Amino acid sequence: MNKVLMSGNFIICEAAIRAGCRFYAGYPITPQNEIPEYMAEHMRKAEGGIFIQPESEIAAINMIAGASAAGLRVMTSSSSPGISLKQEGISSMAACELPGVIVNIMRGGPGLGNIRPSQGDYFQATRGGGHGDYRTIVLAPATCQELADLTMAAFDLADKYRTPAMILADGMMGQMMEPVIFKKPKPRVYNKKFMLQGAGTGKSKFIRGLLLDPIDMEEHNWKLARKYEVISNKETLHEEYNINGAKMVIVAYGTAARIAKGAIKRLRSNGMNLGLFRPLTLWPFPELQLRSLSAKIKNFLVFEMSTGQMLEDVRLALQGYADIRFHGRPGGAVPTPAELANVIARIYERTVR
């Protein structure tokens, strides 16, 4: 396995193709345009690979729903306002229990906002985003290697639980370049009974999300809820960095966690006992793992490139057992590790010493 130097958006594409993605539909929007560009060139080289640039984001999500129903591994991608347009389709895929991977390379918002990296789509991703009682598995890479690994994992999780899975990254991660090793993907495990591949023989199969009888709809909702509970219990991922002996823990994900790690390295050299808790799954959020830290650590600082969205999940996880502070930079403002270190140092001096 040789290292290759690639940009983040290209890495997502290559990982998806190697994982067996054979249908991609996407519409251009900055800062994820390199994804449809790469897929347009390389999907036709993969056996059975299909690339489509449809007329809209709405068309794209419904196209991958149809291809997923036919049994293909599918992916679409967009950036913040484009993901908003896909929400009804994502809800329909969840209702019909169709696997698929959705990539959101976040930009500043709300509205059209700007094309700078941001983390303002946390609520949209982790709360389902669309209508009805459903959830979406959300993976938050912080390195190019994790972009590769978690993209492959997203396809496996989507198949395992027959549900949409999302890669939540941002404009900085999509554009930056790092060396990466593409690991050998796992063989696909997906029962053919869930695929619509022609009439054949035997009983007809169909997939539907429209259940007009309220009792049938209620039971379907509870069926999905039971599945989401299993996912919550089994599929959380997180990283702990310098937690042992820490008197304050920074909670951050994605690009914000990279910045936080740099700030922590600076401040530990100055005698400040700081650690990092980084969720890799934003849903399910690793709340039990975070809560367990509160037995010894009473000071937490949430850092996000938003006005504070993951902050709510941290508060729910810690349930009043610790002091929680927040620092945010919304709208595409990205601080340097030195700038963040100054903020952390001031809070640390007031709360810990």
Residues in the chain predicted with pLDDT less than 50, given as ranges, are none
Question: What pLDDT does 345 receive?
Answer: 97
Whether the domain at 4-234 and the domain at 239-351 fall into the same CATH topology = yes
* 99, two tokens: 């696997």
3-state helix, strand, coil in the chain (%, to 5): 45, 20, 40
Amino acid, single-letter form, for residue 342: N
CA dihedral 10, 113, 150, 176 (to 10 degrees): 40
Question: What pLDDT does 138 receive?
Answer: 98
Question: What pLDDT does 2 receive?
Answer: 86
Question: What pLDDT does 292 receive?
Answer: 97
Question: What pLDDT does 261 receive?
Answer: 97
* 258, two tokens: 């990279």
Nearest residue to 102 via CA among 158, 44, 49, 54 = 158
The structure's pTM equals 0.96
- Largest Cα–Cα separation, the chain: 74
Question: What pLDDT does 320 receive?
Answer: 86
Cβ–Cβ < 8 Å for 256, 249: no
**Topology annotation, domain 239-351:** Rossmann fold (3.40.50)
Cα separation, 90 vs 314, whole angstroms: 26
Question: What pLDDT does 104 receive?
Answer: 98
Question: What pLDDT does 38 receive?
Answer: 98
Cα separation, 201 vs 194, whole angstroms: 15
Question: What pLDDT does 353 receive?
Answer: 66
What residues contact 61, with CB distance under 8 A and at least 6 apart? 25, 76, 85, 86, 88, 89, 90, 93, 102
* CATH, domain range 4-234: 3.40.50.970
Residue 343: count of CB within 10 angstroms of its CB: 16
Residue ranges per structural domain of the chain: 4-234, 239-351
